[in-house]
Structure 1
Amino acid sequence: LIMLSACGSSKKLSDPKILEPWVGAWRGQGLRDNRTDPLQQWTLQLELKDGKLAGVMNDELGEMRDIKLKEVYVSEGELFFQLSYESSRGLHVLYRHQARMRGDKLLSLFEGKEGGKSFAGKWEAKRLYENDAAKK
């Protein structure tokens, strides 16, 4: 009985009806708490690939460079994903996002590390439509 419950649960996470609303491009300002850095514009691109969500993320500084997302999944109405890259200062950067969708907005709380120092923050993005994507 336990095995059947586990199978049913994992099927739900790959259900296209649950994943499709997340597919598309999202762009908005990301802000790390307790930092004086200016707001950064980030763009997230999600697609369905082999029944799962996959995607890349970019930033206006060019550090993310279409970084491929890791551990992308939806659970209980929230999107989870991770990304890591090397910053322009040569530091390893890791982000872990947890996002909720509210209409055409994505509200994400994130945490991570840069060069061994922990950080947290938030990112609010709007869904991009074809006309918006051309305005990069």
Structure 2
Amino acid sequence: MALLLRQFLTKQLKPAITLRLSANQLRTNSSAPSNGDNAQPDPDAPIFNMPNPFTKEVQKCILCEQGVEVNYKNVKLLSQFQSSYTGRIYGRHITGLCKAQQERVEKEIVKAQSAGLMGYYYKDPHFLRDPELFDPERPIRPHRF
């Protein structure tokens, strides 16, 4: 402590100077020389209109992305959202659908089942070889099972 005080008194240790600029001064870059039209922007000045690099990409569900209209007569599409073993409708965390599309799919599955186009407890064997829209074993949001 005595050494620091002695250095400060003999001016060997310079005190730190902090500058506080307002946001308006930073935007206009007032520290750059203003020589009229020949003024060059300071390359070290902060960029305020830069997009946030940490924002996540907005994910759209596969039905909204492709513009698919869900209908109870399209049993092949609806069977993709139903378990082939139990007939249970997969949840949003597994299918990756948005809330509106998930509700529409559930409503159309129930409508197709009541019309006799789809089974309640098992998937039609014709549709077992269809390409998968999602992997039910690897859900988007993990679940407790």
Q: Which of the five TM-score ranges fits, normalised by the shorter chain?
A: under 0.3
Bigger strand share: 1
Tell which structure's C-alpha radius of gyration is larger: 2
TM-score by length of 2: 0.21
Bigger helix share: 2
